[in-house]
Amino acid sequence: MQLHNFNSGPAILPKEVLDQAAAAIHDFNNTGLSILEIGHRTSWFVDVVEEAKATVKRLMNIGEDYEVLFLQGGATMQFMQVPMNLLDENGMAAICDNGVWGNKAVSAAKLFGPVTVVADSSDKKHTYIKKDLELPAGTRYLHITTNNTVEGTQWHQYPQVNVPLIGDMSSDVFCRPTEFKKFDLIYAGAQKNMGAAGVTMVVVKKSLLGKVNRKIPAILDYLKHIEAGSLLNTPPVFSIYVSLLTLRWIEKEGGLVEMEKRNQEKANLLYTTIDAHPAFYCPIEKEDRSIMNAVFFLTDPTKEAAFLALCKQHGMIGVKGYRTVGGIRVSMYNALPLSSVQAFCDLMNDFS
Ligand SMILES: *Cc1c(COP(=O)(O)O)cnc(C)c1O
């Protein structure tokens, strides 16, 4: 049976990326060695890191004032590494809490300095994005989650602010051309839209750093990682390589313009189908719906188990909603083909 992989993360990767990664496990670039067996300071691997950084910069269309890092600890570590490097008792972090991940960013930042939650969409169960933000005096930076993976909302137009903007782009980086330059720091765990688990990309403006009144352990200090070229200690060599293969694939397929075209087509098809059938409903404000993760429900919740069983029977993987949200979640990252969304919509039509 053909499987359709709608996993929210770790998630689907392009078949050719998997083939290339598998080949490199046996023989990396005709070295006769596995990618798992080479030193991270060899020119072979330094070339991998440099090409990955350069590709990120090309895709984001950002200049020399930005640095690209490949770190460990997941996006979850960025929830604390960002405030550790940027916030102290003299400043204020403004954070948008639009769901599970933004909420965790708030809790972690509070350990390092004052925090103001400038938007909280829990009044409507996080089914929308609150966009009129009032930043308190002394705001050091504004943190947003560009795509709320669990709740199914996405910022389609970033807030216009006069403080540094920080974006958790874990689940929508490289899904479309976007104003990356509006951000002073972007981070993304690789396992959703750009590779395998184990590496987190951080893109940061160097001018933002070195200003807090605190000693920072070297391993958590962005400046130390920049000085060391992402090779402060042993990095996740294989995960970085899989990200490079995925970044190459994005460019080869036509870059972010092409990714957006495909992602928009998939999302349009799915949301149109949901809206067409009274058996299903999507509670998310239309203008805030995510093109990466669609969250929706069965109008009659007693039918949900039957629908999920039907999905399983037809090879639809990973469509059960997040444990605290319930319902259905269909993740449509870059590598997911339109044919999988079509197959899912056919199933919805039949069920309906
Ligand atoms: C998945 C996710 C995270 C958590 O990522 P980890 O790599 O598990 O730490 C954080 N933010 C967003 C938006 C996510 O989608």
Q: Of ligand 1's atoms, which has the minimum distance to the CA of residue 197?
A: 7
At residue 157, the pLDDT reads 97
Q: What's the gap in Å between 74 CA and the centre of ligand 1? A: 7
Instruction: Specify whether the CB–CB gap between 142 and 164 falls below 8 A.
Output: yes
Same-domain check for residues 209 and 263? no
Q: What's the gap in Å between 170 CA and the centre of ligand 1? A: 6
Using CA atoms, how far apart are residues 226 and 266, in angstroms rounded to an integer?
38
Q: Of ligand 1's atoms, which has the minimum distance to the CA of residue 9?
A: 1
Q: What's the structural domain count of the chain? A: 2
Q: What is the dihedral of CA 241, 242, 246, 249, to 10 degrees?
A: 70
Using the Cα atoms of residue 41, residue 45, residue 185 and residue 329 in order, give the sign of their dihedral.
negative
Residue 128 domain flag: yes
Residue 7 domain flag: no
Same-domain check for residues 339 and 216? no
Residue 3 domain flag: no
At residue 333, the pLDDT reads 98
Residue 5 domain flag: no
Using the Cα atoms of residue 80, residue 171, residue 92 and residue 182 in order, give the sign of their dihedral.
positive
Residue with tokens 């400038």: 118
Same-domain check for residues 242 and 264? no
Using CA atoms, how far apart are residues 234 and 332, in angstroms rounded to an integer?
32
Instruction: Map residue 316 onto helix, strand or coil.
Output: strand
Instruction: Specify whether the CB–CB gap between 246 and 194 falls below 8 A.
Output: yes
Ligand 1 touching residue 145 (CB < 6 A): yes
Last residue of a domain, one of 253, 283, 304: 253
At residue 29, the pLDDT reads 95
Residue 213 domain flag: yes
Same-domain check for residues 276 and 154? no
At residue 104, the pLDDT reads 98
Last residue of a domain, one of 253, 287, 313: 253
Q: Of ligand 1's atoms, which has the minimum distance to the CA of residue 171?
A: 15
Same-domain check for residues 259 and 316? yes
Same-domain check for residues 290 and 150? no
Residue 268 domain flag: yes
Same-domain check for residues 184 and 322? no
State the CATH number of the domain containing residue 178.
Answer: 3.40.640.10
Instruction: Map residue 166 onto helix, strand or coil.
Output: strand
Burial of 272 (0-12, 13-18, 19+ CB in 10 A): exposed
Q: Peptide bond before 10: cis, by omega within 30 degrees of 0?
A: yes
At residue 216, the pLDDT reads 98
Which residue owns the Cα nearest ligand 1 atom 8?
A: 74
Same-domain check for residues 233 and 321? no
Same-domain check for residues 199 and 342? no
192 catalytic? Reply is yes
Active-site annotation holder among 97, 101, 221, 266: 101
pLDDT digits (tens, 9 = 90+) for 186-227: 999 999 999 999 999 999 999 999 999 999 999 999 999 999
Ligand 1 touching residue 146 (CB < 6 A): no
Same-domain check for residues 333 and 216? no
Q: What's the gap in Å between 346 CA and the centre of ligand 1? A: 31
Which residue range forms the structural domain that includes residue 44? 15-253
Q: How many CB atoms lie within 10 A of CB 46?
A: 15
State the CATH number of the domain containing residue 325.
Answer: 3.90.1150.10
Same-domain check for residues 189 and 79? yes
Instruction: Specify whether the CB–CB gap between 36 and 238 falls below 8 A.
Output: yes
Q: What's the gap in Å between 97 CA and the centre of ligand 1? A: 14
Using CA atoms, how far apart are residues 210 and 288, in angstroms rounded to an integer?
35
Q: What is the dihedral of CA 99, 101, 102, 106, to 10 degrees?
A: 120
Residue 6 domain flag: no
Residues of the chain with pLDDT under 70: none
168 catalytic? Reply is yes
DSSP H helical segments within the chain, as ranges?
15-26, 43-60, 74-86, 100-109, 222-227, 237-253, 255-276, 304-313, 338-351
* pTM, to two decimals: 0.98
Residue 33 domain flag: yes
At residue 22, the pLDDT reads 98
Ligand 1 touching residue 315 (CB < 6 A): no
At residue 329, the pLDDT reads 98
Same-domain check for residues 87 and 209? yes
Q: Between vectors from CA 35 to CA 34 and to CA 39, what angle results, nearest 5°?
A: 105
Last residue of a domain, one of 222, 238, 253: 253
